[in-house]
Amino acid sequence: MKKIAELLSFKEYMYMLICVCLIVGQVFFEIKIPNVMGELTDLVYSGKADISEEIKYGIIMFAYAGLSLVFSFLVAYLVAKVGAALDRRVRRQTFTKIIDFSLKEVGDIGTSSLIARCTTDIYQIQNFFVNGFQPLIKSPIMIIWVTAQISGANVYYRSATITAVAILVAVLSAIAILVLPIVNKAQYAKDELIRIDREHLDGIRVVHAYNGYEKQKERFEEANKRITDLLLRYDKSSALFAPFSNMVMYSLTVIIYIMGAYIVADSAKSLRSSVSNEMIVFVSMLSMLISSCIYLIIIMVLLPNASVSLKRIAQVLNKKTMIMDPEEAFAKDPAICGTLEFRNVSFMYPGSREYAIRDISFRMEKGETVAIVGGTGSGKTTLLNLIPRLYEATEGEILVDGVDIKKMKLKDLRNIFGYVPQKSFLFSGTIVSNIDFGDNGKLKKTIEEIVKASKLGKADEFIRAKEGGYNAHVEEGGSNFSGGQRQRLTISRAICRDPEIFLFDDSFSALDYKTDKTVREGLKETLSGASVLMVAQRISTIRSADRIIVLDNGRMVGMGTHDELMTSCNVYREIVLSQTDTEATG
């Protein structure tokens, strides 16, 4: 809550203070109406009221009601203004925090849950703030003020009111307490539903290919039934509020009138007008009191939704980011570039008891091409992810240009690399915005540099064939491009970055052999000064590398050239022999 409150500016705090003052004014004018009504009733009973007097009192009551309405409108306007600003800032703060998360933090909370927190939860907070602020402030003020007004009323009236209000508050509060855990469970059930929807959309090709419709329906129905049951329990509990509240209010009103009738009948004739007037004013005040109690308790029912959402947002904002800039960053020597060194590096995934990679040591010099090969699950991608600090090494040191990566600013470290992930990913936008993506501390790329990078990545030809060329639209995830086209665009993106070191994570797998060879030869000729660390499965892709590192079960079991490893490393030789490509087997 403190973090949310800190997002409000001084001006907005002043707006909220003005709102509180306006709400006090509202209460004042609303309470004045029954008092004026009482004075008019006295005049009517006394026989002193003429039509002009009645009109005058009617105008006064109308004026009070009008002023209360104006104040209410002003409060609604100011609260909506502050609520919109708060909503925008909370979204920005949450998204900024998520951007800084490493893969570990994203995994801890879950992608689907983060999406829900950035959308549904923030909306719940903003909705409660805008719709709940006025009754939350107004109801307690009204209850206190009305209670003070009726404190001198007939003892029977007061006793009946206190008993009824106590019953109302006790019962509705009990319902509100029961509702809170249901709301909490429902929020997490929504996360599960979003996760299933997202998995289905991401894996829709697999679902169609395997006729997995029924399985997906079953998973969805199970999650949908769970959230439906929770919401039904919530709605059943909440549905008791209105009828129970109305029953108490109307019952109390009838009781007051019955008591009033007996009291008036037992009063002296000269006092009957004042006793009747007291009863009318009391019933009007009673209506305000009960209504305020009901509004306050309804707010308390809605509060759990906002409270749970607030806690979930706070979990994101308070989540400690494990991978951060060092307190004192080291600037690397500009004369040294393109070098990479692993010193006894080991890594264990969070929650795992086994090392994914263990005791890896090697050095890559400027302009050198080093390839990493190994079986499935041998730790190739894991090793690559440690270099730009997507994960943090558990043990050992990784040095880039002679500096421990933990001692470099993340932005400076990542500016060194051109990273092409195993699964090519494109952002919605244009081809230009995808190739010239991110900030590498250099000037924005010209269209000529973008075209040059695309030619090297063998993407220029199909880009020009697209309607709109380099300004052609890219759908979410690049769904309007083939796998090979997406791969070439992501390679072009890395080239356009003009990095010191290229990191290719099996990035040529979606390319045919001819394109694969052409792209690698183009890179070698044009970017001869850049260092390359690549993960690949095809021996044809890596056999010309300066050195090849062989991983097996997370350990380095061989390092050397293709010819050296064919004679010295059984694991490498088995990989080569398992591939039927004659070029690979030599």
Work out the widest C-alpha separation in the chain, in whole angstroms: 122
What residues of the chain score a pLDDT lower than 70?
A: 1-5, 42, 44-49, 205, 208-210, 264, 267-277, 301, 441, 443, 510-511, 522, 525-528, 580-586
Q: Which helix (H) or strand (E) holds 169?
A: helix 155-202
Residues 6 or more apart from 270 whose CB is under 8 A from it? Answer: none
Three-state helix/strand/coil letters over 278-296 = HHHHHHHHHHHHHHHHHHH
What is the distance in angstroms between the CA of the first residue and the CA of the last residue of the chain? Answer: 66
CATH code that applies to domain 424-498: 3.40.50.300
CATH class of 336-416+501-511+534-580: alpha beta
- Rounded to whole angstroms, the Cα distance separating 528 from 304 reads 61
pLDDT digit string, tens, across residues 24-52: 999 999 888 887 877 777 676 666 667 77
Bridge partner list, 505: 535
Q: Which helix (H) or strand (E) holds 473?
A: strand 473-474
Same fold for the domain at 2-318 and the one at 424-498? no
Residues 6 or more apart from 481 whose CB is under 8 A from it? Answer: 426, 474, 489
Order across the sheet with 395-400: list the strands.
357-364, 340-347, 395-400, 403-404
For the chain, counts of helices (H) and of strands (E): 22, 12
Return left, alpha or beta for 367; rule: phi > 0 is left, psi -120 to 50 is alpha, else beta.
Answer: left
Phi, psi for 150 (deg, rounded to 5): -95, 5
pLDDT value of position 533: 92
Does residue 385 contact residue 378 with C-beta atoms inside 8 Å? no
Domain boundaries in the chain? 2-318, 336-416+501-511+534-580, 424-498
- Rounded to whole angstroms, the Cα distance separating 342 from 365 reads 12
pLDDT value of position 272: 58
- Rounded to whole angstroms, the Cα distance separating 155 from 385 reads 77
Distances in whole angstroms, Cα of residue 493 to Cα of each of 191, 353, 425, 452, 486: 34, 37, 11, 11, 10
pLDDT value of position 422: 81
Does residue 378 contact residue 552 with C-beta atoms inside 8 Å? yes
Residue 224: burial class (beta carbons within 10 Å; 0-12, 13-18, 19+) = middle
Question: Residue 97: how many CA atoms within 13 Å on its side-chain side?
Answer: 22
- Rounded to whole angstroms, the Cα distance separating 259 from 34 reads 20
Q: Which helix (H) or strand (E) holds 549?
A: strand 547-552
Residues 6 or more apart from 506 whose CB is under 8 A from it? Answer: 380, 381, 422, 535, 536, 537
DSSP 387: T
Q: Per 3-state DSSP, what percentage of the chain is helix, strand, and coil (rounded to 5)? A: 65, 10, 25
pLDDT value of position 69: 92
Phi, psi for 245 (deg, rounded to 5): -65, -45
Give the pairing of strands 429-430 and 473-474. Answer: antiparallel
Q: Which sign, positive or negative, has the C-alpha torsion 564, 569, 574, 575?
A: negative
pLDDT digit string, tens, across residues 240-293: 777 777 777 778 778 777 877 777 677 666 555 666 667 777 777 777 877 787
Would you state the structure tokens that stand for residue 417, as one six-digit string? 């690399």
Task: Give the angle 531-398-354 at the CA atoms, nearest 5°.
Answer: 120
**2-318: what fold?**
ABC transporter transmembrane region fold (1.20.1560)
Task: Give the angle 374-492-402 at the CA atoms, nearest 5°.
Answer: 60
- Rounded to whole angstroms, the Cα distance separating 302 from 306 reads 7
- Rounded to whole angstroms, the Cα distance separating 99 from 322 reads 13
pLDDT value of position 45: 66
pLDDT value of position 582: 46
pLDDT value of position 371: 92
With 0.95 as the threshold, say if the pTM is over it: no
Would you state the structure tokens that stand for residue 12, as one six-digit string? 């907005």
